[in-house]
Structure 1
Amino acid sequence: MAQLWGGRFTKETDQLVYAFNASISFDKKMYKQDITGSMAHVKMLGKQGILTEKEAKDLEDELQNILNELESGAIEIDDKYEDIHSFVEATLIDRLGDTGKKLHTGRSRNDQVALDMRMYVRSEVEQMDLLLKSLLETILRIMEENTQTIMPGFTHLQKAQPITLTHHFGAYFEMFKRDRQRLFDIYERMNYCPLGSGALAGTTYPLDREYTASLLGFKGPTLNSMDGVSDRDYAIEFLAAMATIMMHLSRFSEEIIIWNSNEYRFVEIDDAYSTGSSIMPQKKNPDIAELVRGKTGRVYGALNSLLTTMKGIPLAYNKDMQEDKELTFDAIDTTKGCIALFDGMLSTMKFNKERMRDSANGGFTNATDAADYLVNHGVPFRDAHGIIGAIVLHCIENNKAIDDMSLEELKKFSDVFEEDIFDAISMETCVNKRLTIGAPSEQAMLKVIEAEKEYLAQSEKIG
């Protein structure tokens, strides 16, 4: 067993206990952050005269060599070590002897792992933001191409009023835009360096924590050493943000699954993002959308698990907190994979525009506009509502749309109707007379598209 804390103990740890306690099987994912953090630490130790200039340079150079060799595959992380910190330090000692033993001066594994995890999450926030930006660009492209693609809007999964595909996709643009804003907020809040907190009470060595923080790209050091080693708020916030991203992806997936069904036929998913049936040759299944929907619960589970883990932990560090990593790593990989695959599926999807328009026309989505027509001709709204309700019932019984009725038929329900009713309730009129910002008219949506383009062009890259 390769461990860093054996001096206090008189006998070996039980192998089962050791395996249960070890974290290298998953925290080796943070090797780059661990080595980068150590390089900044020894540079600071050299600057402060805690290590000699030569010792600091030898340690920094050899840490860089280890990082290069890990990334090239020249060496591999050995799972016999308890954690990634043990592996790096032991490798350094093998190569530098006593100088390697000085790496841990002025540092605890508590603030070391807090640093590694914070740096890892920070990097993943940056990467997730880029994936969301790509998804937003795909959505915006589809919006630009479909300002005149009329489709039914729904409430309660029932056809409600006519909108456009641009308007529908614009709703998801807003959701994912908020997701990016949440990531930005998380990044700003978490970007402080815990290194130098020690085990919980700092250290007697004259560390320059501000210098270390600047070397690692942080705004500054954390201001309380107990909080520095025991804070996992940033991981919980990131998990909450990912849960929200997955919720948005799942809602979108659910709609695509419905739109892909034989009853709707609004979309055709590209073959690359579909699968068939082992027994039914006619099937083309929306598996990617279904898996995204299914994996949402997995990310929710990670958030709930970490909240539950943290809820009873007294200050400062406790071993329970080791449970933060596997949960967070899995949620990150899951969410990133879902965003990327969903983006690919969306970008290759084909839309059956004629079918969408026919569906809007056949679902009485213009009933509200027909009632508005009567109101604009002096009929009280409640009376207009009743008249149009009776017309809809008549159409259902006779298997026709309001548009299919003759003026003579309409006049049987109200003398107010004139020839201009047909223009007033056409799908194009119903959509395009809604001119307020945020509404589905082409005029309103073109303004929104320009605003979203400007947002994407000007939005800062996290980090």
Structure 2
Amino acid sequence: MAGSEGAKLWGGRFEHSIDPVMEQFNASISFDKIMWKQDIQGSIAYTKALQKAELLTEEECTTIINGLEVIEGEWANQSFLIQPGDEDIHTANERRLKEIVGDVGGKVHTGRSRNDQVAVDKRLWLREHITLLVPHLTKLIKIFVERANEEKAILMPGYTHLQRAQPIRWSHWLLSHVWPLVMDLKRLHSVFSRVNICPLGSGALAGNPFNIDRESLAQELGFEGVTKNSLHAVGDRDFVVEYMFWASLVTSHLSRLAEDLILFSTSEFGFVKLSDAYATGSSLMPQKKNPDSLELIRGKTASVTGNMYGFLMVLKALPSTYNKDLQEDKVMFETASTLIGILQVAAGTVATLQVDGTACQKALSEEMLATDVAYYLVKKGMAFRNAHGKAGEVVKLSEELGCPFSELPLDQLANISPLFTEDVSSLWNFEHSVEQYTATGGTSLDSVNTQIATVEDFLSTFTLTPNKLHEVGTE
């Protein structure tokens, strides 16, 4: 039995076999095999560092790297065979390396621990994942901006507390969901900088005793720098939590978008109609068209956020350095997969939905111009608080007479305030209402155009370079 345990990377001092249930419970190969490419990438770089430190001959280095490249090809063409003793991706790759090149393959782990190995694999994997996220986010933003540019003429109610509040442009509403995504891109840039630090060369916890050039190793792997403390390096998963928080925030933004569109697609609102490609029907009620794409975005956001909270609770009471609890960080892979799906479905849903401009216009009602009445009086010299009260009296008069603002007799308005004169009739126009909001960030046409231009400029200067995100310019 000692022989079977001795075959494991850690089995030399064990006399008895691990319990089969425990072995399965301990194994992570089923989910960390996703990092096969990064594990080989890190091993190739470390092999070069070992040769540089004169721990491998040039011939040994070449032999090991050639063997690792063979393994890389097997993973790529899906011919790699996982064996029962492969408890994780690191064990599997090293086992296969020794099968290909012999005992010299065992030298690749000189001074290295699975503790710093998994840490670097995770950072390499997450760095690549982040680079894949950028085009998904920029595509979604561009879809919003293109629609906003094409549909600027449509007016609709703006809401607070889900109650009709003031008239706004549909394009202004679209852009309101763009700016959180712009902030998300900026936050992603910041997250990336903290992911892109190399822990390799930290060993199990105390460091590396073989004069490994960690800075050169980091440069070989495309990292911006190295971790500064080996204890911290092998136990740090803040970058995982930070990524999962970022993912939770992004999906929360898209969940709010989904909630808006779910409401807008109901018969009661009728503002939008979803494409058949992003809706489903009812197995019982033939007339139904259900917004499943949006409901799934809303629902999966809970799972993404739950992953983040769950792993944060893993970290909250861990002692220093590496503990096997950290294996629970693999929920990051589930979060990453879910997030890509949410971004793709959100982009498709927004790109293909139809907006009913007539229905949006019909939802506007003149009581939504009550604030405009107050502004009218302010422009004639009345203090806003007094004007607000007078506007409330106009609303009350409208309700008492059972008529819209535009039909209120001028003499009765004058009884409320002598400042009401013939020119009050100019207020009863929704286009006039939205066009008064010309300050930066408002719903006027000029402001909407400025927002569009600003976002387009941001996207044109937010670039992705190989191994590093680079942001130019400001919002």
TM-score of the two chains, using structure 1 as the length reference: 0.95
**What residue in structure 1 maps to residue 449 of structure 2?**
446
Equivalent residues of 1:25, 1:79 under 8 A apart: no
Residues 151-187 of structure 1: CA distance to partner in whole angstroms, max 9, x if unpaired?
Answer: 1111111111111112112221110111111111011
Runs of 5+ in structure 2 lacking a partner? Answer: 469-475
**What residue in structure 2 maps to residue 158 of structure 1?**
163
Q: Distance in 1 between matches of 2:112 and 2:63?
A: 18
**What residue in structure 2 maps to residue 359 of structure 1?**
363
**What residue in structure 2 maps to residue 338 of structure 1?**
342
**What residue in structure 2 maps to residue 347 of structure 1?**
351
SS class of match (1:162): strand
- Report deviation, 1:458: 0.6
Equivalent residues of 2:53, 2:210 under 8 A apart: no
The 1:408–1:111 alpha-carbon spacing in structure 2 relative to 1, beyond 3 Å, is same
**What residue in structure 1 maps to residue 317 of structure 2?**
312
Equivalent residues of 2:369, 2:427 under 8 A apart: no
**What residue in structure 2 maps to residue 47 of structure 1?**
52
Give the letter aligned to residue 107 of structure 2.
K
**What residue in structure 2 maps to residue 456 of structure 1?**
459
Give aligned-pair identity as a percent. 39
Residues 88-114 of structure 1: CA distance to partner in whole angstroms, max 9, x if unpaired?
Answer: 001111111111121211211100011
Structure 2 residue corresponding to 1:255, chosen from 234, 237, 260: 260
> For structure 1, which segment, 73-82 or 102-111, has the greater mean C-alpha deviation from structure 2 after superposition?
73-82
- Report deviation, 1:80: 4.2
**What residue in structure 2 maps to residue 57 of structure 1?**
62
SS class of match (1:390): helix
Equivalent residues of 2:241, 2:308 under 8 A apart: yes
> For structure 1, which segment, 232-241 or 368-377, has the greater mean C-alpha deviation from structure 2 after superposition?
368-377
TM-score of the two chains, using structure 2 as the length reference: 0.93
SS class of match (2:446): helix
Q: Distance in 1 between matches of 2:83 and 2:173?
A: 51
Q: Distance in 1 between matches of 2:215 and 2:383?
A: 71
**What residue in structure 1 maps to residue 214 of structure 2?**
209
Give the letter aligned to residue 288 of structure 2.
K
- Report deviation, 1:34: 0.5
- Report deviation, 1:419: 3.2
**What residue in structure 2 maps to residue 196 of structure 1?**
201
Structure 2 residue corresponding to 1:374, chosen from 372, 377, 393: 377
Q: Distance in 2 between matches of 1:345 and 1:318?
A: 43
**What residue in structure 2 maps to residue 419 of structure 1?**
422
**What residue in structure 1 maps to residue 308 of structure 2?**
303
- Report deviation, 1:376: 2.3
Q: Distance in 2 between matches of 1:44 and 1:381?
A: 72
Give the letter aligned to residue 337 of structure 1.
G
**1:16-415 aligned within 5 A:** 16-78=21-83, 80-325=85-330, 327-360=331-364, 362=365, 364-396=367-399, 400-405=403-408, 407=410, 410-411=413-414, 413-415=416-418
Residues 200-256 of structure 1: CA distance to partner in whole angstroms, max 9, x if unpaired?
Answer: 011221211111111111012211111111110100100111111011011111100
> For structure 1, which segment, 15-24 or 392-401, has the greater mean C-alpha deviation from structure 2 after superposition?
392-401
SS class of match (2:122): helix
The 1:404–1:134 alpha-carbon spacing in structure 2 relative to 1, beyond 3 Å, is farther
Equivalent residues of 1:276, 1:284 under 8 A apart: yes
Q: Distance in 2 between matches of 1:399 and 1:456?
A: 50
Equivalent residues of 2:366, 2:405 under 8 A apart: no
Q: Distance in 2 between matches of 1:153 and 1:399?
A: 24
- Report deviation, 1:363: 5.8
SS class of match (1:460): strand
Give the letter aligned to residue 129 of structure 2.
E
- Report deviation, 1:75: 2.6
The 1:437–1:392 alpha-carbon spacing in structure 2 relative to 1, beyond 3 Å, is same
Give the letter aligned to residue 358 of structure 2.
E
**What residue in structure 1 maps to residue 431 of structure 2?**
428
Q: Distance in 1 between matches of 2:384 and 2:228?
A: 62
Q: Distance in 1 between matches of 2:135 and 2:356?
A: 30
> For structure 1, which segment, 225-234 or 363-372, has the greater mean C-alpha deviation from structure 2 after superposition?
363-372
- Report deviation, 1:425: 3.5
Aligned Cα RMSD in Å?
1.7
Residues 38-89 of structure 1: CA distance to partner in whole angstroms, max 9, x if unpaired?
Answer: 1111122122221010111111111111111211123344454100111100
Task: Count the aligned residue pairs.
Answer: 461
- Report deviation, 1:312: 0.9
